[in-house]
Amino acid sequence: MNPRGAIERVADVDAAVSLQELTGEIDSEWIGDALREHDRQDKRERKLPASTVMWLVIGMGLLRDRCIQEVAVHLGLTSIKDERIRSTEGIVPSTIVEARKALGPEPVMALFQRTADEWALASAAEHAWRGLSLFPIDGTTLRIPDSDSNAAEFGLPGSSRGRAGYPQVRLVAIMSAVTHMVACAAFGPCRGKRTGELSLARDLRDRVPPASLLIGDKLFLAYAELYAITRRNITDTAKARHWLVPARKDTVWTVVERVSDTDAIVDLKINRRDRRADPSLPETMRVRAIRYTRKGFRTRTLLTSLLDAQAYPEHEIAEIFRLREEIELAHDELKTHMLERQEALRSKLPAGVRQEIWGILAAYNLVRHKMLAVAKEVSLPPLRISFRHTLQALRLSWLVAAWTTQTAELTNQGGLLRAMIALLILPERRSHRHYRRHVKIKMSRYPRNPGRRRRGEAITSKLQEKSTI
């Protein structure tokens, strides 16, 4: 097929239907409810409505390699007005910046939480284990631009060389173990008091749904927090909330009952500091300790609130704990494939950073929702579907749909380039620097070698002496 025929075949795609199919994954009522909840609905007609800005923020997470203006054009949300080509249509790029500021992070957060409630919780319940939805919990960090406001708001983490080169945001998420959809998330500064993963997880404690099992690593072995999860259990045991974490080496307990050689009911002692902070806490907490050995690994002990050995066999619990690794794979999908291992996010202001992160999480759930639909169509488990290829297919669908809006123009010779001309022209080179030069420290995992440095200085001084002679 010649190039003209190929373009005609592409142009046969109904762009409006294609975009509607993609944007229809998120109900327009969800966007409207999020805007009304935070009083961000449009009071008058605008060139860039608030609902369009919501999709723009999600598109920023999907199209990581494009600038924000290009994202707006590629998604077919608007056209860019450019004085370099004397364009009278569209909007100026600064309008996008102001529209993002006017929207703020709160509506995007509400939209993400709606996707989590409608998609993540439902998918986790659909793939439950013995009536319990499985939710791993873990934390990660995200780099953000090195602006003064970001550094003041989120802080620079420490390193072996003093301070890190970029501010960072600490993110803690609870995900569905079987579908990788984010059920809830919290993020904040990476330094300071109450900024650790456990403190952020405390904000997510009440969002854990009934009839669920929260799976964490040993960092989340905080007796008071774990007791708070089970304390809110209702009388119906089928809807109780449970947890599963590994024990630390220094964990001490008192055996109450032996279920088997590797399974026991034990009492953990809650320390006085936690009981002073919360007088309702008991002196001990009854849990179940399961010792298991995985081939090629050392023996580990798991602590859980699943006390019924008949309803929850120990060998199944050991297999379920391995699903905690799924959240680490999900973080890799988000940071490696969605964010494409970029140095930092886009936004230079803290409000923009929060808005961008909520948009990225909503975009991640959108991709995962499409993957779940594909898995049901081919009758395979959701984790058998490739995240990377689904993301690429979704990006390609948006781009093709955006560039096939005018069939006649595309089929004309050079019509495609004329349609993209606003994106093809580079801005004029700037002769002056807007920001001072700042060399970042090398984030090497290897320590400095002071002996090598001293030897290098000695060789340099000898060469200088020879040159003077």
Domains of the chain: 3-103+386-422 (no CATH), 107-338 (3.90.350)
Q: pLDDT averaged over the chain?
A: 80
- pLDDT at position 461, please? 61
- pLDDT at position 203, please? 85
Distance in Å from the first CA to the final CA of the chain: 75
- pLDDT at position 291, please? 92
> What whole-number distance in Å separates Cα of residue 302 and Cα of residue 317?
9
Mean pLDDT of the 234-251 span: 81
> What proportion of the chain, given as a percentage, has pLDDT over 90?
35
Range name among 131-135, 229-233, 438-442 with the lowest pLDDT average: 438-442
Question: Does 275 or 354 have the greater pLDDT score?
Answer: 354
121: CB partners within 8 A, 6+ apart: 133, 176, 183, 209
Asked whether the predicted pLDDT for residue 452 surpasses 80, the reply is no
pTM of the shown model? 0.82
Asked whether the predicted pLDDT for residue 171 surpasses 90, the reply is yes
Asked whether the predicted pLDDT for residue 181 surpasses 50, the reply is yes
Asked whether the predicted pLDDT for residue 467 surpasses 50, the reply is no
Mean pLDDT of the 382-409 span: 75
Mean pLDDT of the 120-140 span: 93
- pLDDT at position 26, please? 84
Mean pLDDT of the 213-223 span: 87
Question: Does 378 or 5 have the greater pLDDT score?
Answer: 378
- pLDDT at position 355, please? 95
Chain-centroid distance, C-alpha 460 = 49
Q: Indicate the pLDDT class of residue 304, thresholds 50, 70 and 90.
A: very high
- pLDDT at position 394, please? 83
- pLDDT at position 278, please? 84
Question: Does 353 or 224 have the greater pLDDT score?
Answer: 353
141: CB partners within 8 A, 6+ apart: 157, 168, 169, 170, 171, 190
> What proportion of the chain, given as a percentage, has pLDDT over 70?
73
Question: Does 2 or 287 have the greater pLDDT score?
Answer: 287
